[in-house]
Structure 1
């Protein structure tokens, strides 16, 4: 008796297999609401303290950074999830008061992730535009040295390949090693903070403020993360 063979199963994409099951901790910077607690001093990771949180910046038309960060981060999360990457977020909505920066770092470390990526946008001089990717420097542990710098480079390369300009006013070649970002200083796993662009610059704000532009940023950052995970 004749049998009908089922349709052949397409082989798994080896690049997808290489990242499936990995973990990425995503931090949409700032919060949808703030209260007096944001001024509370918390450890900065280098023996000092800094405020728990800040409210973030906004474009001249009022579009707030916290909403931009939330939108782009969730686009990145969706894209990574499609590849089988497990993701965790530092905050669960864009309406409430979110965790302090040290609590976000603790949550990230508790997840034991392969990468930590914090999404932000800058509020720099109106004449300056472009992205920059921050990493902790000087490094405080092995994860912050080679691995974090490689992650920063991978994200930088993907943003540049997408045609997004590198910062004209901070860092060099789209990278910025710095010691003042608590979330990066406290990280025990490879961590970067991406400033997608300058919300005070008209050209950057137009791109950041459009759904198509945010999709472009998210796709580029996702590509950089995946490149790093593939090693």
Structure 2
């Protein structure tokens, strides 16, 4: 997720040297995550530019079955910077036929952050929309790695991989957008898509645009908001459960550590300034899978093999949440 507005210029492509990757490993035992690789937390801005507050420690259940790990697109290698996201025929408003499985009857909405076309529609995405607590831009351009791999391409790729994994478990999966519209949707519409689908879980996919040296993932949980069109009181509890399970499984599958710059080493951050959360009436979280502006995190985010692990970890967390 970019800190910048729609006028943000994408970084000029340059080749970055990939340093050796050091990851923190955590092991899951039945019913609980035994340990976190805890990075030193440094106060810094959240995705909206304000300081983010740390929330409770992450936990995860090991009861979730692991779906197949093959890439749905057959792309198990690295994504080349600037390459197009995997094509798909699914419409964001139409469900794919659900297979029989443990998640039969469950609806999952995946919200790939931003849109590859947002850069060409700055006026439209700068339009202000009501998020309950105040008004914010319809959407933003998102960020990119120094080599030019866009956040919008990353989020679509992971969304496609997650859709295949969750449909194998029997879930009905919807995407809020699939690069099938010129820009957006706006943050209020993204929330509305999940609400109207009566989703059992919604996950908004992002990658951060913080400073170099800031590393790791974090899951953003909705804070308690009751203002204007926003009322999150009924979803705060289940959303936290969803977020904790996703964070724990993300560590287990990817080996990535929680953010070292927000969340106090827990991998969890609570926000009240995001329209996609404020306007949701169903359990919903955001996940920032890593920092695109750090070369070590960028090496992960641009790897097809790692993106498959990210999709697996997030999906396992959703499965664990839906199965209780």
TM-score, with normalisation over the residues of structure 1?
0.90
**Residue in 1 that maps onto 2:290:** 197
| 1:109 and 2:195 correspond | yes
Which residue in 2 is equivalent to 1:23? 107
* Structure 1 residues 93-126: Cα deviation after superposition (integer angstroms, max 9, x where no partner): 2673121111111111000010010000000111
Q: Which runs of 4+ in 1 moved over 6 A?
A: none
Structure-2 residue corresponding to 1:11 = none
Please list every run of 5 or more consecutive structure 1 residues that lacks an aligned counterpart in the other structure: 1-13
- SS in structure 2 at match of 1:212: helix
Distance in 1, Cα, partners of 2:234 & 2:291: 28
Check conservation: 1:70, 1:94, Cα contact below 8 A: no
Paired residue for 1:67? 153
Any stretches of 5+ residues in structure 2 without a counterpart? 1-63, 66-99, 226-230
1:148 to 239, 262, 265: 239
2:218 to 132, 138, 148: 132
Asked if structure 1 preserves the Cα contact closer than 8 Å seen for 2:102 and 2:170, the reply is no
Q: 1:90 to 1:80 in 2, by over 3 A?
A: same
Contact 1:32 1:94 in 2 (8 A): no
Q: Structure 1 residues 76 and 27, CA, compared in 2 at 3 Å: closer, same or farther?
A: same
Query: What per-residue deviation string (whole Å, max 9, x for no partner) do you get for residues 116-174 of structure 1?
Result: 10000000111110000001112543442210000010001001112111100012300
1:26-175, aligned counterparts within 5 Å? Answer: 26-34=110-118, 35=121, 36-46=123-133, 48-93=134-179, 96-139=182-225, 140-162=231-253, 163-172=255-264, 173-175=266-268
| Contact 2:138 2:184 (C-alpha < 8 Å) held by counterparts | no
**Counterparts of 2:178 and 2:150, CA distance in 1:** 17
Distance 2:178 2:154 in 1: 15
Structure 1 CA distance for aligned equivalents of residues 102 and 132 of structure 2: 33
- Aligned equivalent of 2:24: none
- Report the TM-score when normalising by structure 2: 0.65
Range with greater deviation from structure 2 (132-141 or 14-23): 14-23
Q: Alpha-carbon deviation of 1:229? A: 0.5
Distance in 2 of aligned mates of 1:97 and 1:178: 25
Q: Structure 2 CA distance, aligned partners of 1:182 and 1:89?
A: 17
Look up the SS of the partner of 1:192 in the other structure: strand
**More helix, by proportion:** 1
State the partner residue of 2:314.
221
CA distance in 2, matches of 1:230, 1:25: 16
Q: Displacement, 1:79?
A: 0.4
Q: Could you tell me whether the CA contact under 8 Å between 2:125 and 2:184 is conserved in 1?
A: no
For the aligned residue pairs, the C-alpha RMSD in angstroms reads 1.6
**Deviations, residues 183-221 of structure 1 (Å, cap 9, x unaligned):** 001000000000000001111100110100111111100
2:211 aligns to what SS in structure 1?
coil
Q: Which has the larger radius of gyration?
A: 1
